[in-house]
Amino acid sequence: MKKYFTLAIISLISALSFGQKTGEWCATDQLIQQQFQNDASLQETFHQQMMAAAKYRHTNSGNRAGIVIPVVVHIIHDNGAGNISDEQIQSAIDILNEDYNRMNPDTSTTRNTVDAPFQLQAGSMDIVFKLAKLDPNGNCTNGIVRVNAPSLTYNADEDCKYSANGGSDQWPRDEYFNIWIVNTIDNGGAAGITLGYAYLPYGGAGGTGYGILMRHDSFGVIETADNSDGRTLTHEMGHALGLSHIFNTGFGGGGSTGCHLDDCDANGDYACDTPPQEEANWSCSQIWNSCSEIPTGDTYGFDALDQIENYMSYNACQNMFSLDQAGIMQANFISISFLNNLRSPANLVNTGVNDPDVLCKADFEALNRSICSGTVVDFNDFSFHGPISWTWTISGIEGTDYNYVNGTSAATQEPSVEFISSGSYDVQLVVSDGVSTETELKTSYINVIPLPNSIDLIEGFEGYTSFGATDQWSVYNPSGNGFEVVEGISRSGWRSARLLNFGQQSGNSDELISAPVDLSVIDPLTESITLSFRYSYKKRFESNNEWLKVFITNTCGETWVQRKTLQGSQLSPNVQSSTWVPSSATDWTTIHMTNITSTYFVENFRYKFEFESDGGNNFYLDDINIYKGSPSDVLVGVDETGNFIESMSVYPNPTAGSVNVRFALANGGAASVIVTDLAGKQMEAHQLFAAQGNNLLQLETAKYASGVYLVQLNLGGVTHVKQLMVE
């Protein structure tokens, strides 16, 4: 199982937009405020350290040393676009070095007018960021760590920074500057997009979380970041080295923010050559002036315009740090111990940043590893440093069962290979720089899924004793317990799928992924599909908030869409403090999914179950069915003798989104759920194989107008009706 921690700091990320050229968000201020909430003394600590840096910059303005910073970039990805190339990573580092040394090509756009005399106040850090060449153990590295963690790379937060969760641990912060790259970042449910955030280096600097977290599509200026100007990293690095936003920062020890008349070395952003700015803005207006106040000690001595060019603004025309900002960052490399060690000559030797490039590692990855027959796999070479030849070997199946395509061959650096026959394939890469060679072998690396199952699938896990003994299912389980076949516990038959969740730590995530099912035979004009399954689960503690999610795909697993979610008390309101084992039919709930639309009527339809734990109890899965046609068709495991509706509920009610129709039956049978308005107009109807015991059907009401509706359950001539209010 995968372990991850959800910190409160990320849940509060909201309400602050991050401009750059995209009008999107930086979440650093929310991170700072949450630190202050957790430890009230930190606010004064930040204030004192910022004032100390401001004082240092005055007394040591002519004594600035050149700085070299070893960098490690952790790529948290799902084998998709977020697994960015080495070249894109280097492009981000290149932009960083340009901006911090005032070598960026847009320096000429810095204003030098009477009201905005900023060109002479533009600062340079005399700093170079370099990818590390030796890791903390002294082994060869290219300064890039790649971790395949699908559950951590979307809506990412601090979880991705820890290997215990399946993420990537911080390399020692006094030896390496750490950057984590993900697909998307949690924005706390607010509107808009969070591009990145960083801890400031004060007051403990977030400990093992210190560094920058960023989206891949804002990192660098090529490939997935083609529409980015690369300045998100420049901005977030400014925070990490000690700079606040130039507007209304608010973390000084009770000091003034925004527009103020107070000492500029102890208020606002602590930089006297960045005129006070009342609030964030995204304009590049050449006459923008949000404050008329002139702080004590102000560099200009008059009401200068807002410094829209500043990297620590949200404006889209950023191109400079000020001299005072550069001085603050330089001061922090002297006074903050872990930053001081980071740049030390001994550390530069230990991290190898100045060593020559020598071939020391063969490595590769593929975008898709679990594929359908006929799929073309593109292999990406991540070998380093400086290979000039490549030799690929694919084994495990007859050589005629795969082909190099698109003009590639076994000697191509990044070949494209079409896999034909089902089974597991080993892949080996040998690279050479003309002097030495390196080899990487990955066994069972490509798994070609067998031909699709036919429609009217019935899966009770009866045909095999383990998931390793069948090609009908694959288990995603980075560590700990995963889904397994268990005997003697089932809703019908003898076996079921079990996830031993009891005793696991909060935040584990596991998946059970199906082989393809052929839905191409379904007529989208006259027929529909229902996916049903049974599960058994109880909470361990009343507070448990665990999730069951069901995903479907029409691309054989390249992309997935979530179509079912059960959470907390929806999953089960019942609690059992001891290990949960179902013992009767009433311990099982049957789920009916009717939202598999015609776009999924393809030959290689697949589905998967994902369970996310919160320290709760065991979870069981059985009797998975995919069927079409009328409910008179036979469903294995459903007793059709006698009909009696024991209970029915509709919740949440009122609703503004999805609504659950839960009902319990004395015996199973053909049932229908019909929704009408008060005038009798039918909104939707679903024909189901209802099971004995608990059943749950989820309806989407987004297409309904606000008002009152009737939800009607029909079974064997018996009808129950509940009112539903849609807001």
Give the confidence band of 636 by pLDDT, cuts at 50, 70, 90.
very low
Residue (of 274, 369, 373) closest to 326 by Cα position = 274
Question: 46 in helix, strand or coil?
Answer: helix
364-449 against 630-727: fold identical: yes
Task: Indicate the pLDDT class of residue 108, thresholds 50, 70 and 90.
Answer: very high
- Inter-residue contact 446 to 415 (CB < 8 Å): no
pLDDT of residue 492: 83
Question: What is the 8-class DSSP label of residue 306?
Answer: P
- Which pLDDT value is given to residue 276? 92
Look at the alpha carbons of 685, 688, 694, 698 in this order and tell me if their dihedral is positive or negative.
Answer: negative
- Asked whether the predicted pLDDT for residue 14 surpasses 60, the reply is no
Mean pLDDT over 222-249 rounds to 89
The pLDDT value given to residue 28 = 81
Q: What's the average model confidence in pLDDT over 458-469?
A: 87
Task: Tell me which CATH code domain 630-727 carries.
Answer: 2.60.40.1930
Identify the residue with better confidence: 670 or 90: 90
Q: pLDDT at position 256, please?
A: 64
In this structure, which topology does domain 450-629 adopt according to CATH?
Answer: Jelly Rolls (2.60.120)
The answer to which of 61-70, 611-620, 635-644 has the lowest mean pLDDT is 635-644
pLDDT at 649: 86
Cα angle 205, 207, 210 (rounded to 5 degrees) comes to: 60
- The pLDDT of residue 137 is 96
Please give the pLDDT value at position 480: 64
In this predicted structure, the answer to whether residue 209 has a pLDDT above a threshold of 70 is yes
Average pLDDT, the chain: 86
CA distance 171 to 512: 32
Q: In CATH, which of 1.20.120.1200, 1.10.1740.10, 1.10.600.10, 2.60.40.10 is domain 364-449?
A: 2.60.40.10
Residue 693: which residues within 8 A CB-CB, separation 6 or more? Answer: 585, 586, 587, 588, 589, 590, 664, 665
Give the model's confidence band at 128: pLDDT under 50 very low, under 70 low, under 90 confident, else very high: very high
What is residue 602's predicted lDDT score, i.e. its pLDDT?
92
Q: What percent of the chain is modeled with pLDDT above 70?
A: 90
**In this predicted model, which residue has the larger pLDDT, 442 or 421?**
442
Confidence of residue 147 (pLDDT cuts 50, 70, 90): very high
Banded model confidence at residue 389, pLDDT cuts 50, 70, 90: very high
Percentage of the chain surpassing pLDDT 90? 50
Give the model confidence (pLDDT) of 663-711 as tens digits: 888 777 778 888 988 777 888 888 887 878 888 888 888 888 888 888 9
Q: Which of 20-24, 88-92, 603-607 is most confident?
A: 88-92
Decide the pairing of beta strands 437-449 and 370-372.
parallel
pLDDT score of 203: 86
For residue 19, pLDDT over 70 is answered with: no
Q: What is the dihedral of CA 261, 266, 271, 273, to 10 degrees?
A: 30
**Average pLDDT in the 317-328 region?**
94
Question: How far is it, in rounded angstroms, from Cα 613 to Cα 3?
Answer: 9
User: Model's pTM, two decimal places?
Assistant: 0.73
The predicted-structure confidence for 148-207, as pLDDT tens digits, reads as follows 888 889 989 999 999 988 899 999 999 999 999 999 998 776 556 889 999 999 987 778
- Asked if pLDDT for residue 123 goes beyond 60, the answer is yes
28 Cβ contact list (under 8 Å, min separation 6) = 197, 198, 199, 200, 236, 239, 245
pLDDT per residue as tens digits for the range 584-635: 988 999 888 888 889 999 988 999 999 988 889 999 999 898 887 533 333 3
Range scoring the smallest mean pLDDT among 269-278, 395-404, 664-673: 395-404
Helix (H, G, I), strand (E, B) or coil at 1: coil
3-state secondary structure of 591: strand
Residue-level pLDDT at 207: 84
Q: Which residue has better confidence, 137 or 721? A: 137
* Rounded alpha-carbon distances, angstroms, from residue 18 to 9, 92, 511: 18, 18, 35
- List residues with catalytic annotation: 236
CATH fold of 8-350 reads: Collagenase (Catalytic Domain) (3.40.390)
Beta bridge partners of 65: none
pLDDT band at 332 (very low <50, low <70, confident <90, very high): very high
How much is the average pLDDT of 375-381? 92
Span 507-549, pLDDT tens digits: 778 899 998 999 998 888 888 888 889 999 999 999 999 999 9
The better pLDDT of the pair 95, 65 is held by 95
- Give the pLDDT confidence score for residue 65 in this predicted structure: 67
Could you tell me the pLDDT band of residue 504, with boundaries at 50, 70 and 90? confident
C-alpha span between 589 and 535 (Å, rounded)? 5
Domain boundaries, the chain: 8-350, 364-449, 450-629, 630-727
- pLDDT of the residue at 459: 85
